[in-house]
Amino acid sequence: MALLEVKNLSTVFKTDHGDVQAVRDVSFSVNEGEVLGIVGESGSGKSQTMYSIMGLLASNGVIESGEILFDGEDISPKNFDSKKKYENKMLTIRGNKMAMIFQDPMTFLNPVLRIETQLIEPLMNHTNMSRKEARERALELMRLVGIPSPEKRIKQYPFEFSGGMRQRIVIAIALTCNPKLIIADEPTTALDVTIQAQVLELIDTLRRETNAAVIMITHDLGVVAKLCDKVMIMYGGKLVEQGTDQDIFYHPQHPYTKGLLNCIANPEDDSDKPLEPIAGSPPDLLNPPKGCPFVDRCDDAMKVCKWYMPEETVFSANHKCKCWLNHPMAPKKGD
């Protein structure tokens, strides 16, 4: 059984200009011990999909429809009698079963509290540990995430750590609750390349040691190639293609996925072929296109693409894509 199963999730943000349709009819699942990468440009809906799942949407965000099943429970907001009950439930889940690692550790860490307090308090809140036991566990977690001299460093403040070490502390805090699911939102974007590789390796090691599932939100296909078993490609609030890492890297079907792959350097390709950025800009989600969200940027667009949302083509249990090019009845390019 999947650890997390999301069915037909749609989330909007209420604004004075109308509803911003940030997440549109998204369905996917992730199993224990699996790493799922969610890839897309800014505004593709990847982060809002995850904030919807964690109950962390901004105050004007509303889950309009869909189901979220996590660890055998239905945690969709519609399943609760009141907003308060839903929020209380999500507080418990976020404290005990789901953890999030954010892009910038400094927005997560409290600058005026020693690391000791920031690790020990959640341990005492989420378990029955005494302060002494929690301190021991905190030191153990610091060792686990590769922080040298933890006995000395636990007494320091966040500003006394480098960017990479701060992200390790955030990961240690995320592990205080033994999460079943870790959601990492661009966790390496703010770090330099060498430290990025170390943090990704750490996340992978922890996943193998704890069997937690990891959802990695990223705009970087290089991160996906290093870490992920499954990949979701989002565009204009829609899930346009999903598959294993092999499906996405070696057999991409959606023109947007192919465009993203053309934007990254292939170390095995020694030709001088220049990288090709995808021309154009993403759709306005206040007034999204009636048909395929990629229509204005797609070199293969047909008339049908403008007016009708592509149906899903299933290539295998994992590999699915929403593009009219794959539909057997669709007209061909130029029709």
- Residues near ligand SF4 (CB under 6 A): 254-255, 292, 294-295, 298, 300-302, 305, 310, 323-325
Q: Are 304 and 334 in contact (CB under 8 A)?
A: no
Q: How far is the CB of 15 from ligand SF4 (least distance, A)?
A: 27
Phi, psi angles (nearest 5°) of residue 301:
-60, 140
Chain centre distance of CA 314: 23
CB of 325 to ligand SF4, least distance (A): 5
Neighbours of 97 (CB within 10 A): 17
Which residue from 169, 56, 176, 57 is spatially nearest to 111, judged by alpha carbons?
169
Provide, rounded to whole angstroms, the least separation between the CB of residue 108 and ligand SF4.
Answer: 37
Nearer to ligand SF4, 119 or 285 (CB): 285
Q: How many CA atoms lie within 13 A of 54 on its CB side?
A: 24
The token pair that represents 298 in the structure block:
């797609």
Quote the least distance from Cβ 310 to ligand SF4, whole Å: 4
Q: What is the DSSP letter of 36?
A: E
The whole-angstrom separation of Cα 98 and Cα 92 is 9
Q: Is the CB of 230 or the CB of 254 nearer to ligand SF4?
A: 254
Q: C-beta of 312: minimal distance to ligand SF4 in Å?
A: 11
- CB of residue 333 to ligand SF4, shortest distance in Å: 8
Q: Which residue lies nearer to ligand SF4 by CB, 18 or 280?
A: 280
Compare residues 260 and 298 and give the one whose CB is closer to ligand SF4. Answer: 298
Distance CA 181, CA 168 (A): 17
Closest to ligand SF4 by CB, 13 or 324 = 324
| Cα distance between residue 253 and residue 267, in whole Å | 22
Rounded to whole angstroms, how far apart are CA atoms 195 and 202? 10
What CA–CA distance (Å, rounded) separates 143 from 115?
14
Supply 128's token pair.
Answer: 């029955």
Least distance (Å) from ligand SF4 to the CB of residue 218?
21
The distance of Cα 161 from the centroid of its chain, to the nearest Å, equals 26
Which residue, 43 or 77, is less far from ligand SF4 as judged by CB?
43
* Least distance (Å) between residue 304 CB and ligand SF4: 7
Nearer to ligand SF4, 278 or 305 (CB): 305
- Helices 131-144 + 115-126 axis angle, to 10: 120
Pair 97, 180: CB distance under 8 Å: yes
161 versus 294: smaller Cβ distance to ligand SF4: 294
